[in-house]
Amino acid sequence: MKAIRVHSPGGSEALRYEDVPQPAPGAGQVLVKVEAAGVNFVDVYQRTGLYKVALPFTLGQEAAGVVTAVGSGVSEVKVGDRVAYCHVMGAYAEYAVVPADRIVRLPEGVSTQQGAAAMLQGMTAYYLASATYPLKPGDVCLVHAAAGGVGLLLCQIAQLRGARVIGTVSTRAKATLAREAGAEDVILYTEQDFEVEVKRLTQGAGLQVVYDSVGKTTFDKGLNCLARRGLMVLYGQSSGPVGSFDPLLLSQKGSLFLTRPTLGDYIATRAELLERAGEVLGWIKSGKLKLRIDHEFPLAQAAEAHRALEGRKTTGKVLLIP
């Protein structure tokens, strides 16, 4: 079968389209014929070596497809089931072996493309808005990269929970998408200082929470946007790592809170996985949550997909199709 492999860290040229043996499921595992794999910034971090992974490896942590074989002791799914999963390496491939307890069935009316687009980014947006900081009416939040894959979903979920959403984007076209997703105010950070704008838009009161997936270029100013005892949720670093940080700053800026969450800790048990995936997939089926699948690349063009993602040329979700 074909797969995208990384033999040494590097740029998009480090992605190799290769023949590898088709895996077989062991006890407690299932074999999935991948119909769509999600492209995420975590894949970029792993490709560049920012996040360490034993070499060589098959990239990708999110996919959806059809179960073609099951190992012994598997009761969660059966051959022929349409399924999706995330946080299991090896998704950039025609087939993937996945632990059965990490798989969720797709409901009727949700396509495998939608499943692949929803798992990692959809559940991330869901836990950020409902668990890391449970948004409520009266809250004001800032969503950086509001037209990105997580950003568009986070704007929608925040609005569903009754919060006021301020988004940051780089272009007017992206600003339109963010507004359509639920952002009441949108700041073009390429033309405006988002710290100044947030203080103006909140009349100096500040924010209850900042959702920051950008990191290096936004972190310091984001702290200045928070109200007393506000929360900085740093869940990504598309512009680079924040670097060294003195916790005393949190005290000086109003007894602030800082968290660096990851999805894995919010779907650690199967019960948590089923609850969060079920909620997100159910919203997609009902139309309450709208996915934007921006680009679909053939698996062989994974390098091009990474370049598009890193070059801020995408909005919503990027998929690879084996």
Please tell me the distance from the alpha carbon of residue 205 to that of residue 17, in angstroms, as a whole number.
52
Q: How many CB atoms sit inside 10 A of residue 308's CB? A: 18
Q: Is the pLDDT score of 170 beyond 90?
A: yes
Exposed (0-12), middle (13-18) or buried (19+): which is 109, by Cβ within 10 Å? exposed
Q: How much is the average pLDDT of 241-267?
A: 96
Round the average pLDDT of the chain to a whole number and report it.
96
Q: Does the predicted TM-score (pTM) go above 0.85?
A: yes
Going from N- to C-terminal start, the domains of the chain cover 2-120+269-321, 136-260
**Residue 316's pLDDT is what?**
81
Query: Does 315 score more than 90 pLDDT?
Result: no
- pLDDT for residue 201: 98
- Asked if pLDDT for residue 280 goes beyond 90, the answer is yes
CA separation, residue 81 to residues 76, 125, 193 (Å):
10, 26, 49
Tell me the C-alpha distance between 245 and 240, whole Å: 14
Q: DSSP string of 190-214?
A: TTS-HHHHHHHHTTT--EEEEEESS
In our burial notation (b when 16+ CB lie closer than 10 A, e otherwise), range 252-272 reads ebeebebeebebeebbeeeee
pLDDT tens digit string along 12-64? 999 999 999 999 999 999 999 999 999 999 999 999 999 999 999 999 999 99
Tokens of 108: 């009727």
Q: What is the mean pLDDT of residues 255-267?
A: 97
Tell me, what's the pLDDT at 312? 79
CATH class of 2-120+269-321: alpha beta
Is the confidence at residue 238, as pLDDT, over 90?
no
Q: What is the pLDDT of residue 217?
A: 94
CATH topology of domain 136-260: Rossmann fold (3.40.50)
State CA 7 to chain mean position distance: 25
Question: Is a pLDDT exceeding 90 seen at residue 113?
Answer: yes
pLDDT of residue 80: 98
User: Residue 118: its pLDDT value, please?
Assistant: 95
